[in-house]
Amino acid sequence: MRYFATFFVISLLTATTLAGCGSSDEPTELPTTPTPVAVAETFNGSLNVNGAQNHNFGVERAGTVSAQIKTLSDQAATIGVSLGTWNGVACTIIIRNTAAVLNTTITGTAQQTGQYCVSLNDVGKLTAGVDYSVEVTHY
């Protein structure tokens, strides 16, 4: 009888323990990474003969950065357009095009988040100032 009681208690404890170990038949969904959304910023300004203008912007995600000259008041003008990093005071140029005309696009890659800049400058070809708009696209 003692053997039967011990066997009964062990069987009862095992059944109780296993009852708490269930599994769900529902599949577990893995979290999805949201698709990055490109941000487009437009900067407007005036560029004087022998002048330069910088516009800074924040990049929240590493990835492609591009700048396109959207408008020039003198559509035949040739200027310089550059992308670089912004330290709060100056634009350190990383990539440049010194023969940019209307609709020219330059493209680079931001390796990390941070402050970046687009710079436009006279490359010695302006005979008068020009108004411009440049669109920067980044993540």
Enumerate the domain spans of the chain.
39-138
Indicate the helix (H) or strand (E) that contains 70.
Answer: strand 63-72
pLDDT mean for each 10 residues of the chain (139 residues): 45 48 64 88 98 98 98 98 97 98 98 98 98 98
What's the CA gap between 125 and 99, in Å, rounded? 9
Tokens (6 digits) for 135: 């669109």
Give the residue among 103, 26, 112, 95 at the shortest CA–CA distance from 61. Answer: 112
- Four-way CATH pick for 39-138: 3.40.50.9100, 3.40.50.1370, 3.40.50.10860, 2.60.120.380: 2.60.120.380
The pLDDT tens digits for 77-115 are 999 999 999 999 999 999 999 999 999 999 999 999 999
Tokens (6 digits) for 128: 């008068």
**How many Å is the Cα radius of gyration of the chain?**
31
What's the CA gap between 5 and 2, in Å, rounded? 5
What angle is formed at CA 113 by the lines to CA 66 and CA 41, rounded to 5 degrees? 40
